[in-house]
Structure 1
Amino acid sequence: MALTSKITPYSLSWPAQYLKDEPLIASAFNDELIAIHHVGSTAVPGLAAKPEIDVLIEVDEHRNVLTRDEILLGLGYVRGSDLSEGHHFYRRNVKGVRTHKLHVCEQGHVSIAYMLGFRDLLKRNVVIRQHYQALKLELEASNTGGMAEYLARKGPFIIATMLEAGICAA
């Protein structure tokens, strides 16, 4: 079973795509919007990644969800299962290929600190970034179970790295 996309070398088009899409995505959130962040591997210069733009949207609370879902659907985003309470997930595919993932989290949600913390750690620490890239490429090459397997197998590295850096507690 394949991943949603093939891991490719870093591209300057990723932050440019994020900046292009940011105002369109923001239009779905009105007065509940606090902040929008480019997260995930495509937000880390020099890091190979699946070319899928990860966006973290912070909201004060989940209001007007039906209206939001309609606007995002018009932009090509489909609502997925909530990843946890207060953490909504959307995905966008173009011609059957995943291009974007939206993580919509209520202010103070633990996922916000984790996503921003890991992104920032990878940006500032070249050794960790290189180890993470090597792991991702290894997991892609050996993957037989699709995205669930890929995420489960890279999870321990992420958690251990964040614990060691003091970004999260055990």
Structure 2
Amino acid sequence: MAIVVLPYDDRWPELFAQVCSELAPIFAGLAPAFHHVGSTSVPGLAAKPKIDLHAAFADLATAAAVERMQTVAGYTYHGDKYGDQSWTFTSGRGSYGARLYLCTADNHVLRDRILFRDYLRTHPERADAYAALKLRLMSEANDDWDYYTGGKTEFVRETVRLAQP
């Protein structure tokens, strides 16, 4: 699959809201908090056209949410790939996709993604540097996702460190 990083699209917040409204009935009674994360959640930031979002649940509701999502048409289940108690589902939606993570409200991955997002939102010079890095990696990667993702790791770690209270 080709790695494509696009200029910011003003529709991304609306697409996030649309995905949330589609998921809300599936999680009826489980009361998730939805969080828009990833590059599409940072105004002005170039991004892959994929809406990343977390649905955070109370501890006991997470297992039920994972079970419910496994039966939802149009979503592919990828499991807890990194053993961090964050279960991933993806969906293609025409010109964009969605990547949904199910986790508990106190999950460290969710915490770090929110710190990263909020830091980029309030530090445009850091967001610009991240966009430049992603565009460079896209041109170098030859569609090698491990290269692309791995090339961002240190930048993300350093940004989360800078964002720590």
With the length of structure 2 as denominator, give the TM-score of the two structures: 0.88
Task: Give the superposition deviation at 1:33.
Answer: 3.1
- Is residue 2 from structure 1 mapped to residue 2 from structure 2 by the alignment? yes
Matched, 1:139 2:137: yes
Q: Which moved more, 1:137-146 or 1:121-130?
A: 137-146
Deviations 1:109-167 (A, max 9, x none): 10111111101111110110010000000000000352222111101111012213326
Letter in 2 for 1:90: F
The correspondence of residues 105-120 of structure 1 with structure 2, limited to 5 A, is 105-120=103-118
Cα contact 2:84–2:109 (8 A) shared by 1:
no
How many residue pairs match? The answer is: 161
**Partner AA of 1:115 in structure 2:** R
- Taking only aligned residues, the RMSD between alpha carbons, in angstroms, comes to 1.8
Q: Which runs of 5+ in 1 are unaligned?
A: none
Letter in 2 for 1:53: I
Q: 1:55-70 maps to which residues of 2 (within 5 A)?
A: 55-61=53-59, 62-64=62-64, 65-70=66-71
- 2:101 corresponds to which residue? 103
CA contact (8 A) 1:42 1:54 kept: yes
State the partner residue of 2:86: 87
> Closer, same or farther in 2 for the Cα pair 1:145/1:20, shift >3 Å?
closer
CA separation in 2, counterparts of 1:89 and 1:150? 19
Distance 2:27 2:84 in 1: 18
CA contact 1:32–1:63 (8 Å) conserved in 2:
no
CA distance in structure 2 between the aligned counterparts of 1:86 and 1:30, rounded to whole angstroms:
21
Using a 3 Å threshold, how does the CA distance of structure 1 residues 145 and 10 change in structure 2: closer, same or farther? Answer: closer
The answer to whether the 8 Å contact 2:119/2:159 transfers is no
Contact 1:10/1:42, CA 8 A, preserved across alignment = yes
User: Is the Cα contact below 8 Å between 1:89 and 1:103 reproduced in 2?
Assistant: yes
Distance across 2 between alignment mates of 1:34 and 1:67: 13
3-state DSSP of counterpart to 1:63: helix
Identical aligned residues as a percent: 29
Q: Give the equivalent residue in structure 1 for 2:162.
A: 164
Aligned pairs for 1:20-59 within 5 A: 20-59=18-57
